[in-house]
Amino acid sequence: MLNEPMLNSPHDCGDCPIRHRAVCARCEPLELQALEEIKYYRSFEAGQTVVWSGDQMDFVASVVSGIASLTQTMEDGRTQMVGLLLPSDFVGRPGREGAAYDVVATTDLVMCCFRKKPFERIMLETPHIAQRLLEMTLDELDAAREWMLVLGRKTAREKIASLLSIIARRDASLKMTGMAGTMVFDLPLTREAMADYLGLTLETVSRQISALKRDGVIHLEGKRHVTIPDLGRLLEEAGDDADGGVMA
Amino acid sequence: MLNEPMLNSPHDCGDCPIRHRAVCARCEPLELQALEEIKYYRSFEAGQTVVWSGDQMDFVASVVSGIASLTQTMEDGRTQMVGLLLPSDFVGRPGREGAAYDVVATTDLVMCCFRKKPFERIMLETPHIAQRLLEMTLDELDAAREWMLVLGRKTAREKIASLLSIIARRDASLKMTGMAGTMVFDLPLTREAMADYLGLTLETVSRQISALKRDGVIHLEGKRHVTIPDLGRLLEEAGDDADGGVMA
DNA sequence: GTTCGCGCTTGATCTGGGTCAAGGATAGCC
DNA sequence: GGCTATCCTTGACCCAGATCAAGCGCGAAC
């Protein structure tokens, strides 16, 4: 039903060190020089906040390695993760002033940043960059809306299954046999981060993971290393036959 | 914190009959002719489905009058509304094939449609249309993510308050006195539609509305005509002091 | 008028997931 | 080795919201 925004572009453009779909210099030879000039890298440790909601955000960026999350927090501390940024994902709001949500490094993180003002100028001069950003933003919108179904209508078990299948399918190190075969990967999120993404408590996340393990839908080595013997079965658990959901 | 995508452009361009922010012919004098040629109107009765999820969608459109909603449904019938389209809102996925969700006429509805292929061509030739669409899509993304917080972390009472304040602030017929003054409007949604938007059951929606009424936070005449004597108070109920939330 | 249907309300009861609380496992560090 | 911190698990209990059920109000059709 939905397309799969995060899946559709590993964007492997050879030795390009950046691999960001939107503005990869290698894919934009004409703009190479202009983009190179406004480009810089930033590193963050797990747990660090990249930008605070409402703060001025004078750059746009794409993830080089690691995972960042977009998070909203209420005054009383309730938080909801509204997006996961994996390598090659883009973050930024050309034409917008402040950040709309906290951007937090969930793992150690390297981002490739472009100063915003000149980036916007380049965008104006280079129509297909705006169009590519539009497509990516539409993908993110689809993913966000898919996630609204998860948050609003799925049970705890379905939520966990949805998240696991999404991570499994995006994980670069996945090992897959057959159409709905075995997948192996490491969870890049703590139970608490998963809870924040799923609108649950960390206790419920833990319990449901234990239940999936007990029922043989998944296997765990340690707390993070996951084996999914039958992805099709997991997708059924997710209440989501057609596709395994989408993320952003 | 967040900007207010749906609020920021009543886009009153005089006698323009369309008033769609993205492609209003009056605001695009250069493209007037080209857009006029691919433009047509469609009317729907309340309850009709405009497009089904997955179907080919060979147009993009903006709402002229009435309300449409974007809805996702699981095989077992659970449904989640993922967007509300009010007059001047845009719907469509330039560069995308099928529809990602059902589009349903929630009230009687008139849409101004543009055939997709030629629209995409015009977009390619007219950079600032792509840029305007990008900005609108970013707004919708913000709204969707804001709604994720509502779905994932707010209580039933807060959800209702969030929805009411959003509708109140977007309603054209609103009557407002002072900064957080009295507002009067008609609910354009049934209890069931509200439930689908909020991830609740219609019974819970009904009960919470009754509770808000009992507590004097809102007044009701009949089942749809709402008076909010103190918007500030409602926003507190919404657990959302800074702003009243955003919608899409 | 009566009847129907739909949208809505309200009550009674049940339950999934939250809350509170007590450990267990593992990694780093002295 | 022991100590501490972090992350995770599990149990006991509770409550917000779901579910099941009955009935109301009101406009439309006859």
pLDDT tens digits, B138-149: 999 999 999 999
Last residue of a domain, one of B149, B167, B189: B149
User: Are A149 and B83 an interchain contact pair (Cβ–Cβ within 8 Å)?
Assistant: no
Distance measured from the CA of protein residue B78 to the C1' of nucleotide C6, in angstroms: 21
Mean pLDDT of A56-83: 93
Q: What's chain A's length in residues? A: 248
Same domain assignment for residues B107 and B214: no
| CATH number reported for the structural domain that contains residue B136 in this entry | 2.60.120.10
Last residue of a domain, one of A147, A173, A199: A147
Instruction: Indicate the pLDDT class of residue B245, thresholds 50, 70 and 90.
Output: very low
- Select from A224, A232, A222, A247 the least CA-distant residue to A176: A232
Mean pLDDT of B126-135: 81
Q: Chain A neighbours among B 43-72 (CB < 8 Å)?
A: 53-54, 70, 72
User: Are B145 and A1 an interchain contact pair (Cβ–Cβ within 8 Å)?
Assistant: no
The crossing angle, in degrees rounded to 10, of helices A191-198 and A202-214 is 100
User: Are B131 and A141 an interchain contact pair (Cβ–Cβ within 8 Å)?
Assistant: no
Residue B223 resides in a domain:
yes
- pLDDT, residue A30, reads 43
Distance measured from the CA of protein residue A207 to the C1' of nucleotide D13, in angstroms: 16
The crossing angle, in degrees rounded to 10, of helices B116-125 and A127-153 is 130
Count: domains in chain A: 2
Chain A residues near residue B100 by CB distance under 8 angstroms: 1-3, 142, 145
Residue A18 resides in a domain:
no
- pLDDT, residue B241, reads 64
The answer to whether residue B206 neighbours chain A at the CB level (below 8 Å) is no
Same domain assignment for residues B39 and B138: yes
Same domain assignment for residues A29 and A143: yes
Same domain assignment for residues B36 and B84: yes
**Nearest-by-CA chain B residue for A123:** B131
User: Are A144 and B149 an interchain contact pair (Cβ–Cβ within 8 Å)?
Assistant: no
**How far apart are the C-alpha atoms of A48 and B13, rounded to whole Å?**
46
Instruction: Indicate the pLDDT class of residue B7, thresholds 50, 70 and 90.
Output: very low
pLDDT per residue as tens digits for the range B62-120: 888 889 999 999 999 999 999 999 888 889 988 888 899 999 999 999 998 999 999 88
B1: closest CA of chain A, how far (Å): 5
pLDDT per residue as tens digits for the range B17-58: 344 444 454 444 444 567 778 889 999 999 999 999 999 999
Residue B106 resides in a domain:
yes
- Could you give phi then psi for residue B20, rounded to 5 degrees? -100, 130
Same domain assignment for residues A233 and A215: yes
Give this prediction's pTM: 0.86
User: Are B72 and A3 an interchain contact pair (Cβ–Cβ within 8 Å)?
Assistant: no
Residue A80 resides in a domain:
yes
Same domain assignment for residues B138 and B202: no
Same domain assignment for residues A38 and A142: yes
Kindly list the strands in the beta sheet with A183-186, ordered across the sheet, starting from the edge strand earlier in the chain.
A183-186, A225-228, A219-221
pLDDT per residue as tens digits for the range B173-227: 555 555 556 889 899 999 999 999 999 999 999 999 999 999 999 999 989 999 9
Distance measured from the CA of protein residue A204 to the C1' of nucleotide C5, in angstroms: 43
- pLDDT, residue B8, reads 31
- Select from B142, B152, B159 the least CA-distant residue to A196: B152
Last residue of a domain, one of B149, B166, B190: B149
What six digits make up the tokens of A15?
Answer: 């030795």
Q: Which of B82, B97, B239 sits opposite A149 (nearest CB)?
A: B82
Residue B91 resides in a domain:
yes
> How many alpha carbons fall within 13 Å on the CB side of residue A66?
22
Residue B247 resides in a domain:
no
Residue A13 resides in a domain:
no
Is it the case that residue B237 has pLDDT exceeding 80?
A: yes
Chain A residues near residue B144 by CB distance under 8 angstroms: 141, 144-145, 148
Distance measured from the CA of protein residue B173 to the C1' of nucleotide D26, in angstroms: 25
Whole-complex ipTM: 0.87
Mean pLDDT of A129-158: 92
Same domain assignment for residues A178 and A224: yes
Is it the case that residue A87 has pLDDT exceeding 90?
A: no
What six digits make up the tokens of B20?
Answer: 């769609």
Q: What is the mean pLDDT of chain A?
A: 82
Any idea which nucleotide's C1' is nearest the CA of B213? C9
B72: closest CA of chain A, how far (Å): 7
Same domain assignment for residues B205 and B113: no
Domain that holds residue B49: 25-149
User: Are A153 and B78 an interchain contact pair (Cβ–Cβ within 8 Å)?
Assistant: yes
Residue B182: count other Cβ atoms within 10 Å of its Cβ.
15
Residue B77 resides in a domain:
yes
Same domain assignment for residues B174 and B226: yes
- The answer for residues whose C-beta is within 8 angstroms of residue B98's C-beta and 6 or more apart is B53, B54, B55, B56, B57
| CATH number reported for the structural domain that contains residue A220 in this entry | 1.10.10.10
- pLDDT, residue A180, reads 55
Residue A60 bridge partners (DSSP) = A114
Same domain assignment for residues A29 and A142: yes
pLDDT per residue as tens digits for the range A14-41: 333 344 444 454 444 444 567 778 889 9
Instruction: Indicate the pLDDT class of residue A189, thresholds 50, 70 and 90.
Output: very high
Same domain assignment for residues A132 and A162: no
| DSSP per-residue letters across A143-198 | HHHHHHHHHHH--HHHHHHHHHHHHHHH-TT----STT--EEEE--S-HHHHHHHH
